[in-house]
Amino acid sequence: MGEIVSYRANGGTSKGYLARPADGDGPAVIVIQEWWGLVGHITSIADRFAEAGFVALAPDLYHGEQAMEPDEAAKLLMAMRLDEAAKDIAGAADFLTGDLLAQDLLTGEPGPAAPGTSNSRVAAVGFCMGGSLALWSATLSDRIVAAVGFYPAMQWEHIAPEWSRYRGKSALIHCSESDGTSAAPGIRAAREAIGRAGGDCAVYDYPGTDHAFFNDDRPEVYHASAAATAWARTLEFLRNRLG
């Protein structure tokens, strides 16, 4: 089980769910939420990363808000300020590399030191909305050198990534059939832009899957075998890129 921590971002503090492996250190991963918010499904993914040997931090991009219904989630997504989300994600990368000041300087109270002080590089993994933000995150911070997007759903013109910052970085995209597979215009645009920038981008299609096929809290779309394959590919990718 992890814990809620505070870290410096947005000129103040942000919160997120931090999960560590048994020995307390490991490669660093930012876990980026779906449009529902920092819900149990996302914290459970952070826990799974910790069990696999990673230090995982899931930023709370909605700052305490969560949704249970699609209409509520859509409202939270529309209200999310991308400039603040960018700072939350970049701040999470700084926190995971151990470059922030101690927590007591932020809160006036003792707190855990920044984890993963042996880390100098970070990856981001996101789902749905968070899949797009994860791919975007590698353009926000030099510390984020690898990104994994599960069925990224946001249109790139809304985010305006500076794809040129992908030089020397890597991306992995998992595509559902219902979203149009790797042939979907947004996936093709991201893959081509990353390649032009001098990065590398691997893309996998999962036949017979719906959007959000990794979300085991949604039995109507969850696809166990595809989720297991995507998870194994993600772990292999992250271990290869983060060392």
Q: Which residues of 160-197 are buried (b: 16+ CB within 10 A; e: fewer)?
A: ebebebbeebbbbbbbbbebebeeeebbeebbebbeeb
Residue 126 has pLDDT above 90, yes or no: yes
Number of neighbours of residue 23 by Cβ within 10 angstroms: 7
Would you call 88 exposed, middle or buried from its count of C-beta atoms within 10 A (0-12, 13-18, 19+)? buried
Q: Give residue limits of the domains in the chain.
A: 3-242
Q: Return the H-helix or E-strand segment holding 149.
A: strand 144-150
What is the maximum alpha-carbon separation in the chain?
52
Give the model confidence (pLDDT) of 174-230 as tens digits: 999 999 999 999 999 999 999 999 999 999 999 999 999 999 999 999 999 999 999
- Write down the CATH number for the domain with range 3-242: 3.40.50.1820
CA distance 168 to 149: 18
DSSP state of 113: P
What the block records as the tokens of 104 is: 């007591």
pLDDT: which is higher, 17 or 160 = 17
Grade residue 120 by pLDDT with cuts at 50, 70 and 90. Answer: confident
The mean pLDDT of 110-135, rounded to a whole number, is 76
The pTM (predicted TM-score) of the whole model is: 0.91
Positive or negative torsion for Cα 173, 177, 181, 187: negative
What pLDDT does residue 243 have? Answer: 76
CA distance 129 to 119: 26
First CA to last CA distance, the chain? 24
